[in-house]
Structure 1
């Protein structure tokens, strides 16, 4: 058996990125370490509550800021519990000047989504109605993959 356990992002502004994922994605710090003592670079592990042992995001400092093109749809994806939750994220992101994809309904399996830009320039999708995460049970075309 194999399991995807984490993603590591090398970011230009560690503090801003940690704050972003805490505010927008509801993640929290599960490990905050400096591998070489106080003089070492800070490395932060973030997780969603209840998923601390299944999937985490590692944020490392000192990376180059990304310049993701508008037609580059590479992104991190977070599922939300409702369309209203997606709307709420989009409204906040619009106020913060980081909304890149306004809310849109697409056919299955894409669902309802918006996209925002994290402080490092990565696109982040927030969705409802995809066949994974919260709302998956409401997908009429869900396929049993077991």
Structure 2
């Protein structure tokens, strides 16, 4: 196991109402897998990440809080407001244009498609957006080139 030697961006955390429903959603609609679950007196959490992401781990943390703890974070009645909305989003880049269409079709069936697949400007690519169970926006893109650009610049 390596030791952290410099400051690193490691995760984004969002509150959820029903962690089991959210885990099911994220692991069936996105490429993320469940890495770890935790439970204590404050509630339950789950860590999701890309499979085998070891060199530069980045995690989406889902947190379901007991009401007293949630209230400390401004979550009233266990109903968190969307963290990523209406344009703010979690971005997931897909290798094929048809993958965006496939995600959109699945989201449409679930009643969760927010933005129909659309070809945007070259630096944005082909995108669609999906709402998670708590109303957070996930953008799925093809040819946005975030991954490739970072590898080119720093690889």
TM-score normalised per structure 2: 0.77
Judging changes above 3 Å, is the alpha-carbon distance between structure 1 residues 68 and 29 closer, same or farther for their aligned structure 2 residues?
closer
Q: CA deviation at 1:34?
A: 1.5
**Distance between the aligned counterparts of 2:125 and 2:137, measured in 1?**
17
| Count of residue pairs the alignment pairs up | 136
- The one of 13, 18, 30 equivalent to 2:18 is 13
Q: CA deviation at 1:143?
A: 9.5
Aligned to 1:54: 57
**Distance between the aligned counterparts of 2:100 and 2:19, measured in 1?**
25
Kept after mapping to 1: 8 A contact 2:49/2:57: no
Cα deviation digits, residues 43-69 of structure 1 (max 9, x gap): 111111122551011110035333689
**Distance between the aligned counterparts of 2:9 and 2:83, measured in 1?**
24
- The one of 3, 6, 28 equivalent to 2:8 is 3
**Distance between the aligned counterparts of 1:126 and 1:69, measured in 2?**
14
Kept after mapping to 1: 8 A contact 2:84/2:137: no
**Distance between the aligned counterparts of 1:92 and 1:19, measured in 2?**
14
Aligned CA RMSD, in angstroms, stands at: 2.4
What are the equivalent positions in structure 2 for 1:84-123 lying under 5 Å apart?
84-123=98-137
Judging changes above 3 Å, is the alpha-carbon distance between structure 1 residues 129 and 99 closer, same or farther for their aligned structure 2 residues?
same
Is residue 75 of structure 1 aligned with residue 72 of structure 2? no
**Distance between the aligned counterparts of 1:116 and 1:2, measured in 2?**
31
In structure 1, list runs of 5 or more residues that go unmatched: none
Q: CA deviation at 1:119?
A: 0.1
The structure that is helix-richer by fraction is: 2
Kept after mapping to 2: 8 A contact 1:87/1:103: yes
TM-score normalised per structure 1: 0.81
Kept after mapping to 2: 8 A contact 1:13/1:61: yes
